A and B are shown apart, each in its own frame.
Chain A
Amino acid sequence: MVNIPSSINDPIPAAEVEDVELYHPHSWWTTYVFSQDAKVIAIQYSLTAISIGLVALVLSWLMRLQLAFPGVFTFIDADRYYQFITMHGMIMVIYLLTALFLGGFGNYLIPLMLGARDMVFPYANMLSYWIYLLAVLVLVAGFFAPGGPTGAGWTLYPPQAVLSGTPGGQDWGIILMLSSLILFIIGFTMGGLNYVVTVLQGRARGMTLMRMPLTIWGIFTATVMALLAFPALFVASVMMLFDRVLGTSFFMPAIVEMGTQLQHGGGSPILFQHLFWFFGHPEVYIVALPAFGIVSDLISVHARKNIFGYRMMVWAIVIIGALSFVVWAHHMYVSGMNPNFGFFFATTTLIIAVPTAIKVYNWVLTLWRGDIHLTVPMLFALGFIVTFVNGGLTGLFLGNVVVDVPLSDTMFVVAHFHMVMGVAPIMVIFGAIYHWYPKITGRMLDETMGQIHFWVTFLGAYLIFFPMHYLGLLGAPRRYYELGESVVNPPSAHDLNIFITLMALTVGAAQVLFLFNAAWSLRRGKDAGGNPWRATTLEWQTPTTPPPHGNFGKELPVVYRWAYDYSVPGAPEDFIPQNEPDPENRSREHAS
């Protein structure tokens, strides 16, 4: 195995890792449906996630319509409204963002960017998708079950989640929701183990950890976090399922409901909140870290400059990942937990701002005097930075106990987390789709439609969520079916609600344009060629586009440099692929 080059500048012979035993499909079914190829699985994951995400998008329109025009849409009663809220939140956070970043982009990009033939265990990878699909179907079944889906709010707090006053609480809703979560976690674990082991053990020759593109660092760290955080949700789901089905009292205190004493007693609702947020807070970074990674690469490619402070970016990702496991109770300042915890959790929460700020500075410094191409992916990347900074700053408000207490459960919180973990990661997802669609399909997405899509989405999202901060400061509570004529809802605020709803519908319409673009460009888009963005990373150096089964022809690529050799002085072109030898030692790898 040892194969040391005799002189420093000798080219290295092609990969000498023993041949990976790939599964070679024999039929249409094993090629396109029960495929074990990570690229196909990635597309399956993405399409499923986007489809279910569209359902959640429609649910958000319905909620907004109710808030702006209470009483007009009679089919939206209070129960429906809570069901819409719950399903919207759960779908967006878990079934869309987590699945799309890790199952979609993770599957597509990890093997390609690392110079691997496939994930290490393609069969488990395939099972991962099918169990995910099953989880989605079980979730959707809630809409058709008696009593409808659960209306407990996406946090599913007990005891109300399993009481008869909550939609789905004593019907099928909560059972289906918890079962779906359990399935999702089982399926995700199969995929997640694959992503982690592929990154650790399946890289190409020369692909050291510190030469990995930041996209991979983000996805890798997020997957490790998911493998450690989802167990808490798994346990909480199992226990609540038992509370609901078997009549145990893990989370259920003694309760009188409608004048009758329930059979429960002695359980701790706070225990559920601890378990949930031990999952829930890392979950924020499980969707944020892949976004951080991808946006770093988008900025570097489209500004034709190496990422500023690569090493620091890597460490920031790792440190954010580690810190995010010790901040969970900042979601629980008003839960009635020991008030002394607030001090600890506020401190750790604010410390996270340091590595996060480092990342933002480095993105901006990468742009500084770069050769910025305002392509659609770049626009989305820039949109991400602005949105993320905005959402992050309101996070400083909410991380402090004294400021959080009056603001908690107001629209301010809704505005904060939609900015920071809703809009910001979605911006990156769009940017990433515009960026990698040419590799996946061989055709460019239409630029004009893309520009319209970006500007409407970006400005529209701002116009939706910026006014919400104001509503929150007025004291407008979140999760209220209607506010009526109350002190927190003066006529001016109600007009604002109508405005927000109109913006939400507009942004939604822009997504239809995006879907049309994606479908239209599949056949009519401009031919992309192998490397339309003139990027350095390995996925752009495949022999064909889309990449073949096994990704890289006969020989795996050998990596000679980091992923960010853009505009290297003296080089003939403004980018040098990672698999190009570096005899003159020109790579800027060690300068950063």
Chain B
Amino acid sequence: MTDVVETETRISQPRPDGLRGFASDWASDQRTFKNVSWGKAMMWIFLLSDTFVFGCFLLAYMSARMSTTVPWPNPSEVFALNIGGTEVPLILIAIMTFVLISSSGTMAMAVNFGYRRDRRKTALLMLLTALFGATFVGMQAFEWTKLISEGVRPWGNPWGAPQFGSTFFMITGFHGTHVTIGVIFLLIIARKVWRGDFDTEKRGFFTSRKGHYEIVEITGLYWHFVDLVWVFIFAFFYLW
């Protein structure tokens, strides 16, 4: 009962305990989430919406896979690489996943150094993150090329249900697009960090808003989200 609802204009009343306090805090004026900036709130809500997009894609894929009357190609065999004469199942996907998860680590470090206003380290870590992301997309391109050369097409494949190829290209393609957009954003923001735009609060070209280091964290939110989505794609598409 020590805290006060800061912004009620009529009566300044003590904030009630428990759920009621929680509700009155959320419902109070100006901001529902008190220390969340507009940009961060917007990114979170966008990610919620994007979750529904990926959710629908994955549900559609699962319903196709569960209802198919012809066999579904075995992912362990389809996504195996022949290394030194042995078929190693899912090796490329494992490396891709490792790279992408590592990029989340470097991204988190970039956010940390951003808030310490360490320009160089932030920019370098963001570049490293972008590099990991680009590597991921590159390996995905390799994977697509391999499958296409083996005869997988959106409308069919040599091993079974035609929906295998269609869902594979659609879902990994949509995710890869997300990663690519993320890489482009990382590069743009890294350049701004490197130039010191956020130290001088330089105004944006289109928006004429002042730049802040917070944008590094917002980009990071997007990046972690894309990683998280990959974990689900990995689990549902490759491990099933």
Q: Does A72 contact B (CB under 8 A)?
A: no
- When the two chains form their complex, are residues B31 and A201 in contact, meaning their CB atoms are under 8 A apart? yes
Q: Which of A206, A235, A278 contacts B7 (CB 8 A)?
A: A206
In chain B, what residue has the closest Cβ to A559? B9
Interface residues of A in 542-567 (CB under 8 A from B): 558-561
Contact A250-B38, Cβ < 8 Å, known A234-B53, A560-B10: no
Contact A189-B32, Cβ < 8 Å, known A250-B64, A560-B10: no
Q: Which of B12, B56, B206, B210 contacts A5 (CB 8 A)?
A: B12
Contact A266-B41, Cβ < 8 Å, known A209-B26, A271-B63: no
- When the two chains form their complex, are residues A205 and B33 in contact, meaning their CB atoms are under 8 A apart? no
Q: Does A184 contact B (CB under 8 A)?
A: no
In chain B, what residue has the closest Cβ to A120? B38
Partner-binding segment picked from A75-83, A224-232, A402-410: A224-232
- When the two chains form their complex, are residues A239 and B207 in contact, meaning their CB atoms are under 8 A apart? no
Chain A, residues 216-258, CB within 8 Å of chain B (1/0): the string is 0000000000011011101110110010001111100000000
- When the two chains form their complex, are residues B29 and A4 in contact, meaning their CB atoms are under 8 A apart? no
- When the two chains form their complex, are residues B42 and A120 in contact, meaning their CB atoms are under 8 A apart? yes
Contact A189-B46, Cβ < 8 Å, known A23-B207, A201-B36, A228-B52: yes
A196 — which chain B residues lie within 8 A by C-beta? 45
In chain A, what residue has the closest Cβ to B26? A209
**Distance, CA A80 to CA B26, complexed state (A):** 53
Contact A242-B166, Cβ < 8 Å, known A189-B49, A250-B60, A560-B10: yes
A189 — which chain B residues lie within 8 A by C-beta? 46, 49
B166 — which chain A residues lie within 8 A by C-beta? 242, 246, 248-250
Q: Does A204 contact B (CB under 8 A)?
A: yes
Partner-binding segment picked from B66-74, B90-98, B143-151, B226-234: B66-74
Interface residues of B in 2-21 (CB under 8 A from A): 4, 6-12
A31 — which chain B residues lie within 8 A by C-beta? none
Q: Which of A1, A201, A238, A559 contacts B38 (CB 8 A)?
A: A201
Q: Which of A205, A242, A249, A582 contacts B29 (CB 8 A)?
A: A205
- When the two chains form their complex, are residues A263 and B53 in contact, meaning their CB atoms are under 8 A apart? no
In chain B, what residue has the closest Cβ to A11? B9
**Distance, CA A211 to CA B8, complexed state (A):** 11
B207 — which chain A residues lie within 8 A by C-beta? 23, 121-123
Q: How far is the CB of B168 from chain A (nearest CB, A)?
A: 11
**Distance, CA A587 to CA B162, complexed state (A):** 66
Chain B, residues 20-53, CB within 8 Å of chain A (1/0): the string is 0000001111111100111101100110111011
- When the two chains form their complex, are residues B64 and A2 in contact, meaning their CB atoms are under 8 A apart? no
Contact A248-B154, Cβ < 8 Å, known A209-B27, A227-B48, A231-B52: yes
- When the two chains form their complex, are residues B9 and A12 in contact, meaning their CB atoms are under 8 A apart? yes
**Distance, CA A228 to CA B45, complexed state (A):** 10
**Distance, CA A242 to CA B57, complexed state (A):** 13
A200 — which chain B residues lie within 8 A by C-beta? 31-33, 41
Q: Which of A246, A560, A582 contacts B154 (CB 8 A)?
A: A246
Q: How far is the CB of B12 from chain A (nearest CB, A)?
A: 5
- When the two chains form their complex, are residues A197 and B48 in contact, meaning their CB atoms are under 8 A apart? no
B50 — which chain A residues lie within 8 A by C-beta? 231
Interface residues of A in 134-185 (CB under 8 A from B): none
Q: Which of B9, B161, B174 contacts A206 (CB 8 A)?
A: B9
Q: Which of B7, B38, B167, B206 contacts A197 (CB 8 A)?
A: B38
B53 — which chain A residues lie within 8 A by C-beta? 231, 234-235
B39 — which chain A residues lie within 8 A by C-beta? 121
Please classify how large the interface on chain A is, using the bins under 10, 10 to 19, 20 to 34, 35 or more.
35 or more
Contact A208-B27, Cβ < 8 Å, known A21-B210, A200-B32, A265-B162: yes
Q: Which of B42, B64, B155 contacts A263 (CB 8 A)?
A: B155
Q: How far is the CB of A170 from chain B (nearest CB, A)?
A: 16
- When the two chains form their complex, are residues A231 and B56 in contact, meaning their CB atoms are under 8 A apart? yes
Q: How far is the CB of A111 from chain B (nearest CB, A)?
A: 13
- When the two chains form their complex, are residues B9 and A558 in contact, meaning their CB atoms are under 8 A apart? yes
- When the two chains form their complex, are residues B29 and A8 in contact, meaning their CB atoms are under 8 A apart? no
- When the two chains form their complex, are residues B9 and A242 in contact, meaning their CB atoms are under 8 A apart? no
Q: Does A309 contact B (CB under 8 A)?
A: no
**Distance, CA A24 to CA B30, complexed state (A):** 23
Q: Does A17 contact B (CB under 8 A)?
A: yes
B52 — which chain A residues lie within 8 A by C-beta? 227-228, 231-232
Contact A21-B9, Cβ < 8 Å, known A247-B155, A248-B166: no
A193 — which chain B residues lie within 8 A by C-beta? 42, 45-46, 49
Contact A208-B29, Cβ < 8 Å, known A227-B48, A238-B170: yes
- When the two chains form their complex, are residues B32 and A227 in contact, meaning their CB atoms are under 8 A apart? no
Q: Does A202 contact B (CB under 8 A)?
A: yes
- When the two chains form their complex, are residues B64 and A268 in contact, meaning their CB atoms are under 8 A apart? yes
A87 — which chain B residues lie within 8 A by C-beta? none
**Distance, CA A197 to CA B207, complexed state (A):** 17
B70 — which chain A residues lie within 8 A by C-beta? 266
Q: Does A3 contact B (CB under 8 A)?
A: yes
In chain A, what residue has the closest Cβ to B6? A2
Q: Which of B33, B163, B203 contacts A249 (CB 8 A)?
A: B163
- When the two chains form their complex, are residues B170 and A242 in contact, meaning their CB atoms are under 8 A apart? yes
B161 — which chain A residues lie within 8 A by C-beta? 266
- When the two chains form their complex, are residues A21 and B56 in contact, meaning their CB atoms are under 8 A apart? no
Q: How far is the CB of A37 from chain B (nearest CB, A)?
A: 13
Q: Which of A21, A24, A121, A208 contacts B42 (CB 8 A)?
A: A121
Contact A17-B9, Cβ < 8 Å, known A201-B36, A227-B45: no
**Distance, CA A236 to CA B209, complexed state (A):** 37
Q: Does A424 contact B (CB under 8 A)?
A: no
Interface residues of A in 415-452 (CB under 8 A from B): none
- When the two chains form their complex, are residues A560 and B9 in contact, meaning their CB atoms are under 8 A apart? yes
In chain B, what residue has the closest Cβ to A263? B155
**Distance, CA A192 to CA B10, complexed state (A):** 31
In chain A, what residue has the closest Cβ to B68? A266
Chain A, residues 272-306, CB within 8 Å of chain B (1/0): the string is 00010010000000000000000000000000000
**Distance, CA A23 to CA B53, complexed state (A):** 32
Contact A208-B64, Cβ < 8 Å, known A189-B49, A197-B38, A227-B48: no
Q: How far is the CB of B113 from chain A (nearest CB, A)?
A: 25
Q: Does B86 contact A (CB under 8 A)?
A: no
Chain B, residues 203-223, CB within 8 Å of chain A (1/0): the string is 100111110000000000000
Q: How far is the CB of B175 from chain A (nearest CB, A)?
A: 13
Contact A203-B45, Cβ < 8 Å, known A235-B56, A248-B154, A266-B162: no
B31 — which chain A residues lie within 8 A by C-beta? 200-201, 203
**Distance, CA A268 to CA B98, complexed state (A):** 35
Beyond A192-B49, A235-B60, list 15 extra A-B contacts (CB 8 Å).
A2-B4, A8-B12, A121-B38, A196-B45, A197-B38, A201-B30, A201-B36, A206-B8, A208-B27, A209-B28, A235-B53, A235-B56, A236-B56, A268-B63, A275-B56
Could you write out 25 A-B pairs with CB less than 8 Å apart? Answer: A2-B6, A3-B6, A8-B11, A21-B210, A24-B208, A121-B38, A121-B42, A193-B49, A200-B33, A201-B36, A201-B41, A202-B38, A205-B9, A206-B8, A207-B29, A209-B28, A227-B48, A236-B56, A242-B166, A247-B154, A250-B60, A265-B162, A266-B64, A268-B64, A587-B10
- Sorted nearest first, the 6 A-B pairs with minimum C-beta distance are A206-B9, A231-B52, A248-B166, A235-B56, A209-B27, A247-B155
